Amino acid sequence: MSPTRSTRQARPRRAADGPAPGEAAELAARLIPDAEIAPGTVDDVPGLPSFAGKMRDCARACGTSYSQVPHAVQDALVLRRLEQMVNTVMLNPLWRDRLKDAGVTGACATFEEWQQIPVAGKDEQRDLFMGDRPGMVVPLARGGFEVVASGGTTGGRPLEIVYSLRELRHTYRIAGRFMGEHQLGAYLHGPDPRWLFTNLADYQMWSSGTMVGGVLQNVPGVNYIGAGPVTGPVLEHMFSYPGPKALMGITAGVAILADLGAGMPQEARESFRVALYGSGVLPHRKRTELKAVYPDLAILSYFAATQAETIGLQLRDTSPHLAAVPGLHLVEIVDEDGRWVGEGEEGELVVTRLHAHEAPLLRLRLGDRMVRRPRIDRPDLRTQQFEFAGRTGDVLHLGDSQYSAALTLDAVRDELRAAAALDLDEIAHEVQFVNHRETRAVTLLAAVDDPAGLAYTLEAALGPAGVHRAFLRALPRSLSLFNDREADPASVERTGYTFHLVFVHRAAPEIERTPVGKVPLVRDRG
């Protein structure tokens, strides 16, 4: 039975009703029928109906938009799609051997079985999709693909991935529509034209920015401008256009907007409503500076990667939680064994792009840590939620012990507030830990406006060894709930490490930056 015909036979229902027992799996099986679940040859793969079409058929069958489809139905359709993806990659001998080595010899019937598939890292991505690109199911020579590149801002090695142009266009529309309905619509309204800019640079537009730009162009009801890096006069010209505005950039590209807009007319500054930052965390100091210049500004996270154009969107500035775009990716937060963590638990972010017939990449580890949060389950939106907890490499290795750098920063900040009335959130533009393993010294660098004055204030309040003692008290609080008995100040002292806080000027060379201006939280030295 054809998918179009079978979809018409599905009885429409309101999303709020929810599916009857067994109905969700039955609907998913009708939407992706047995005739499509296991393509017989590589030549069959480009002819498979798109998953975007399956999402539309599912929404039509449920009588609502896909973002409002009950969780049980979404889960059933995603699981059916994963089954199809496993069958598809089995056509590729490299993938077939990879799965066989993990004990996976057939499609997954449950999410438990799916979690047996090994998680892939950047090295596996490089091996599968660079050079001869042996991981592609459909050869590159067939055409119709886009290569998306990353400069390797963390590891320093370039990285590429390949996507079907047809499926990219589908995902841009899905993500753009979601942004318009569930994120930007709450901030960009009124009778005047609405504007959406990006200041991502050209070389970034070949990276994840290529994909982000595709999404932004598909937000309904806005006027899009890919401005690239802007000067103050150019930003003022853009902001002189009548109507509310949003701008997306990397964290550094958003942070600089406070300086660029300082002399801008008030009406133009008040028209800036949403700043979307695309990586890491925007420091509290930068948020304060931005809101001082742009009084009506909401600052939201747009979490993306080269491998996935829209992983999670912060919908409101009142909550740090990120919402997945329903049907775009399978987003997993996993433990060290690749198994899902429970709600409220921290794990590693793993994504699988669901719109990838010709070049699927299963269970890709992106190098970020997330906390799994309860799903959104409202009549207007049903989707997953998670919260950014730092990069996987944001760890301080002290001998045989590992401490979360983000938690260490929070604990040190609390110590300094209490002992010296200094608030790193307020005074620091950027911070970075440097771990000198050979000399056993950890230095926290803080970029500030008055390094000499703050250094004097700190030593006057704490004394010569005060910072070291503050770290000794802070580090034991940087372990998880389940490991908090592994360390105390005395055990940290026994590592032989010394701890320092050094204030430096803004843009100081001591703070290491990636080629695109990101400031890693931790840098290890020999």
Give yes or no for residue 140 having a pLDDT over 70.
Answer: yes
Euclidean distance between CA atoms 215 and 176, whole angstroms:
5
pLDDT averaged over every residue in the chain: 88
Confidence bin at 453 (pLDDT 50/70/90): very high
Question: What are φ and ψ of residue 87, in 5° steps?
Answer: -60, -35
Q: What is the mean pLDDT of residues 318-328?
A: 96
Q: What is the mean pLDDT of residues 316-328?
A: 96
pLDDT value, residue 15: 43
Confidence bin at 14 (pLDDT 50/70/90): very low
Confidence bin at 487 (pLDDT 50/70/90): low
Task: Decide: helix, strand or coil at residue 53.
Answer: helix
The residue among 479 and 233 whose pLDDT is bigger is 233
pLDDT value, residue 151: 53
Give yes or no for residue 157 having a pLDDT over 70.
Answer: no
Confidence bin at 519 (pLDDT 50/70/90): confident
Give yes or no for residue 189 having a pLDDT over 70.
Answer: yes
pTM listed for this prediction: 0.79
Q: How many CB atoms lie within 10 A of CB 348?
A: 20
Q: What is the mean pLDDT of residues 451-462?
A: 91
pLDDT value, residue 486: 55
pLDDT value, residue 22: 79
Residues of the chain with pLDDT > 70, as a percent, come to 89
Confidence bin at 7 (pLDDT 50/70/90): very low
Euclidean distance between CA atoms 316 and 325, whole angstroms:
15
Give yes or no for residue 4 having a pLDDT over 50.
Answer: no
Q: What is the mean pLDDT of residues 237-241?
A: 97
In 3D, which of 258, 262, 264 has the Cα closest to residue 287?
Answer: 258
Q: What is the mean pLDDT of residues 398-424?
A: 85
Q: What is the mean pLDDT of residues 393-397?
A: 79
Give yes or no for residue 203 having a pLDDT over 80.
Answer: no
Q: How many CB atoms lie within 10 A of CB 514?
A: 16
Give yes or no for residue 481 having a pLDDT over 80.
Answer: no
Task: Decide: helix, strand or coil at residue 218.
Answer: coil
| Angle, CA of 181, 187 and 189, to the nearest 5° | 80
Six token digits for residue 56: 């539309």
Fill in the DSSP letter of residue 325: -
Top mean-pLDDT range of 108-112, 157-161, 249-253, 512-516? 108-112
Give yes or no for residue 424 having a pLDDT over 50.
Answer: yes
Q: What is the mean pLDDT of residues 513-523?
A: 76
In 3D, which of 234, 317, 225 has the Cα closest to residue 268?
Answer: 234
Q: What is the mean pLDDT of residues 306-327?
A: 90
In 3D, which of 313, 308, 307 has the Cα closest to residue 219?
Answer: 313
Q: Specify whether the CB–CB gap between 363 and 332 falls below 8 A.
A: yes
Q: What is the mean pLDDT of residues 234-238?
A: 96
Contacts of 17-20 with C-beta under 8 Å, sequence gap 24+, read: 18/70, 18/72, 19/70, 19/72, 19/73
pLDDT value, residue 2: 32
Confidence bin at 243 (pLDDT 50/70/90): very high
Question: What are φ and ψ of residue 511, in 5° steps?
Answer: -85, 120
- Compute the Cα dihedral for 311, 389, 290, 191 and give only its sign: positive
The residue among 463 and 49 whose pLDDT is bigger is 49
Q: Identify any residues that bridge with 308 across adjacent strands, giving them in sequence order.
A: 305
Q: Specify whether the CB–CB gap between 495 and 475 falls below 8 A.
A: no
pLDDT value, residue 293: 97
pLDDT value, residue 369: 86
What string of DSSP letters covers 392-414? TT-EEEETTEEEEHHHHHHHHHH
The residue among 58 and 478 whose pLDDT is bigger is 58
Of 43-52, 57-66, 112-121, 511-520, the one with minimum mean pLDDT is: 511-520
Q: Identify any residues that bridge with 440 across adjacent strands, giving them in sequence order.
A: none
pLDDT value, residue 98: 94
Give yes or no for residue 56 having a pLDDT over 90.
Answer: yes
pLDDT value, residue 513: 80
Q: Residue 281, exposed/middle/buried by CB under 10 A (0-12, 13-18, 19+)? A: middle
Give yes or no for residue 30 having a pLDDT over 90.
Answer: yes
Confidence bin at 10 (pLDDT 50/70/90): very low
